[in-house]
Amino acid sequence: MEQKDKLFKQIFDTNSKKIFHLCYGYTGDTDAANDLLQETFLKVWQNLDKFRNKSLISTWIYRIAVNTCLTYLRSEKRQGKEELTDNIIENRVEEYSEKNEQIALLYKSISKLEENDRLIITMVLDELPYHEIADISGISEGNLRVKIHRIKQKLTEIYNQHATI
Amino acid sequence: MQQFEHIQSLWHSHTVDVKISADEMLNQAKKEVNSIKAKSVLTIVGMAAALFAIAIMWLFMDQNSWATQIALTIMISTIAIYTFILYSGYRLISKNDFTIHPNDFLAQLKLYQLSRFRLYNQLFWFYASALTLSIILYFFELSANFSLSVQILVIAGSLAWMLFCSTIVRKAVIKREKERLSLLIEKFTRISEQFEERS
* pLDDT digit string, tens, across residues A27-44: 888 888 888 998 899 888
**CB of B5 less than 8 A from some CB of A:** no
Q: Is ipTM beyond 0.90?
A: no
* Number of Cβ pairs < 8 A linking chain A and chain B: 88
* Number of domains into which chain A is organized: 1
- Burial string for B38-49 (b: 16+ CB within 10 Å, else e) reads eebeebbeebee
* Confidence band of B41 (pLDDT split at 50, 70, 90): very high
Task: Report whether B46 contacts B90 (CB < 8 A).
Answer: no
Domain limits, chain B: 21-198
End-to-end CA distance of chain A: 56
d(CA A140, CA A134): 6
Query: Chain B partners of A156 at a C-beta cutoff of 8 Å?
Result: 2-4, 7
* Confidence band of A152 (pLDDT split at 50, 70, 90): very high
DSSP label at residue A56: -
Query: Long-range contact list for B80-86, CB < 8 A, 24+ apart?
Result: B80/B51, B82/B47, B82/B123, B82/B127, B83/B44, B83/B47, B83/B48, B83/B51, B85/B115, B85/B119, B85/B123, B86/B40, B86/B43, B86/B44, B86/B47, B86/B119
In tens, the pLDDT along B158-195 reads: 888 888 888 898 899 889 888 888 888 888 887 777 66
Do A126 and B11 make contact, defined as CB atoms within 8 angstroms?
A: yes
Do A159 and B7 make contact, defined as CB atoms within 8 angstroms?
A: yes
Q: Which domain holds residue A89?
A: 2-164
pLDDT of residue A95: 58
Main-chain phi, psi angles of B17, to 5 degrees = -110, 130
Q: Which of B89, B80, B144 is nearest to B120 (CA)?
A: B89
DSSP per residue, A70-87: HHHHHHHHHTTPPPTTSH
Do B190 and A46 make contact, defined as CB atoms within 8 angstroms?
A: no
Do B99 and A50 make contact, defined as CB atoms within 8 angstroms?
A: no
Query: Chain B partners of A46 at a C-beta cutoff of 8 Å?
Result: 99, 102, 191-192, 195
Mutate to test the interface with B, among A73, A78, A156 (most CBs of B within 10 A): A156
Query: Chain A partners of B8 at a C-beta cutoff of 8 Å?
Result: 125
pLDDT of residue A155: 94
Q: Which of A70, A62, A26 is nearest to A44 (CA)?
A: A62
Mean pLDDT of chain B: 85
The shortest C-alpha distance from B174 to chain A (Å) reads 19
In tens, the pLDDT along B106-152 reads: 888 889 988 888 888 888 888 888 988 888 888 877 777 788 888 88
- The sign of the dihedral angle between the CA atoms of A154, A159, A162, B1 is negative
User: For chain B, give me the number of helices (H) and strands (E)?
Assistant: 7, 0
Other Cβ atoms closer than 10 A to A165? 5
d(CA B174, CA B88): 18
CATH classification of the domain holding A135:
1.10.1740.10
DSSP per residue, A111-130: HTS-HHHHHHHHHHHTT--H
The shortest C-alpha distance from B100 to chain A (Å) reads 7
pLDDT of residue A165: 63
